[in-house]
Homo-oligomer: A and B are copies of this chain.
Amino acid sequence: MAELEWIDGGGITSPGGFRAGGVYTGVKSYGDESRLDLGVLAWGEPTLVAGVFTNNAVVGEAVTWNRAILGAGRATGALVCNSGNANTVTGEQGTRDTRRMAELTAAKLGLQPQQVLVGSTGVIGRLLPMELIEGGIRDVELAEDGGAAFARAIMTTDPRPKEFAARVRIGDATYTIGACAKGSGMIHPNMGTMFAFLTTDAPAAPAWLQSTLRAVTDRTFNMIDIDMDTSTSDTALLITSGAAGGRAFDGSHPQATEFADAIEAVARRLARAIARDGEGARALIEVIAQGAASVEDARRAARTVASSPLVKTMVVGRDPNWGRVMMAAGRSGARVDQRKASVWIGDHCVLERGTPTAVSLALVSQAMADEEVRIRVDVGMDGTSTATAWGCDLTEEYVRINADYTT
């Protein structure tokens, strides 16, 4: 695939045609003005944005709003987000508050309310303090280098903003892809939710954008969303300003796959950063499942191992208790032949075709001391399907963070 040139300090406003900003309103951490909590991203002409949302049956008001807009095929020109409150399970007032956020943002930018997407992340079941939100929308200033402020404004318990941008040369043209995310309760996606926003200046057909985002999400963000506490507000958006001009990407574009791969590479870096920043995490866990009878089986096995509390505590304790990897693969729903299965921790094979090896467990323990711990499991079905998932270890700090989230 085309090589990516990462842009130092880049983010969602790195591609041309985007402006953004972020302000403090007090919704997230009243009185601490360093904690921005309301952000707006705007792009030139309203355009059809690609979006993928949580599959939780309970959803935030913003998700319902966005789904209706995208489902109706409406073009949009801006995104307004707040952190600190998810506006979920808030009844009719919650519905009105989301609409009000869109209306105020639209009025500010000369758009229609239905041309504004909304994101809300934070605690569930509390009404939005609308006077704070309204002040924030009024005050926020948008700038062509405002991506960093926006990235800060969507954070909840994230230890740092997550934003990246890269240039990629496809044929004769150079495109820029920007991205930012929040989601530090990611490992069991928290009330805090995963937001992943991707921007680009490449022109693209809406249907191609949507199918590309769906496929990329399945291999990146969905491989860290690990079937545990799926948030009610998870949202991934892929927005193009088209500012780079030229031929639009669609299914018949000769370099469509090459550009989709570039988008996936940026998304993968974002996904890994989300997992790495998991609440209380010490280490990133990368799990590769192979030898599976189907891609779906490989995905199940990789995700289940990456999300197993016992695997997570094994990593935090640097405890070479690799039997937990087999236990998790076994309960994943994937077909597993334990007589032919193999497991590696780092480079050490601990189980070889159903039989434990004589590897030194002290060495295995050392391999778990890194900031990235790689676990590979061959489920023994002699298949060629593989999948990769990411998680982080489960520390006492995770418990402390989540025991104290609202109080």
Digitize A254-268: 1 where CB-to-B-CB distance is under 8 Å, 0 elsewhere: 000000000000000
A127-B356 in contact (CB<8A)? yes
Q: What is the CB-to-nearest-CB distance from A156 to chain B, in angstroms, rounded to a whole number?
A: 13
* Given known A317-B404, A341-B89, A403-B317, contact A229–B328 (CB-CB < 8 A): yes
Task: Give bound CA distance, A154 to B88, whole Å.
Answer: 45
Most buried by B among A92, A317, A328, A350: A317
Q: How many copies does the complex hold?
A: 2
A57-B331 in contact (CB<8A)? yes
A58-B407 in contact (CB<8A)? no
CB neighbours of A407 from chain B (8 A): 317-321, 365
Task: Say yes or no for A285: interface residue by CB 8 A criterion.
Answer: no
Complex: chain B residue closest to A338, CB-CB: B58
Digitize A302-317: 1 where CB-to-B-CB distance is under 8 Å, 0 elsewhere: 0000001110011011
Segment among A75-83, A118-126, A165-173, A216-224 that sits at the interface with chain B? A118-126
Interface set, chain A 74-133, CB cutoff 8 A to B? 86, 88-92, 123-127
B126-A356 in contact (CB<8A)? yes
CB neighbours of A320 from chain B (8 A): 406-407
Task: Give bound CA distance, A153 to B332, whole Å.
Answer: 30
Segment among A18-26, A29-37, A144-152, A391-399 that sits at the interface with chain B? A391-399
Task: Give bound CA distance, A57 to B350, whole Å.
Answer: 19
Describe A's contact surface by its main secondary structure: loop
CB neighbours of A399 from chain B (8 A): 313, 316, 394-396, 398-399
Task: Give bound CA distance, A231 to B404, whole Å.
Answer: 30
Categorize the interface residue count of chain A.
35 or more
CB neighbours of A328 from chain B (8 A): 229
One of B91, B321, B327 near A229 (C-beta < 8 A): B327
Complex: chain B residue closest to A393, CB-CB: B403
CB neighbours of A336 from chain B (8 A): 57-58
B354-A91 in contact (CB<8A)? yes
CB neighbours of A314 from chain B (8 A): 402-403, 405
Q: What is the CB-to-nearest-CB distance from A205 to chain B, in angstroms, rounded to a whole number?
A: 33
CB neighbours of A125 from chain B (8 A): 321-323, 326, 350-351, 356
Chain A to chain B contacts (Cβ below 8 Å), 29 pairs:
A56-B331, A57-B330, A57-B335, A59-B338, A86-B323, A89-B351, A89-B356, A91-B355, A92-B355, A125-B321, A125-B326, A125-B356, A188-B308, A191-B324, A228-B309, A229-B309, A229-B324, A231-B327, A232-B326, A309-B402, A313-B399, A317-B403, A317-B407, A318-B407, A319-B406, A321-B405, A395-B399, A396-B396, A399-B399
Interface residues of A (CB under 8 A from B): 55-59, 86, 88-92, 123-127, 185, 188, 190-191, 228-232, 308-310, 313-314, 316-324, 326-332, 334-336, 338-339, 341, 350-351, 354-356, 365, 394-396, 398-400, 402-407
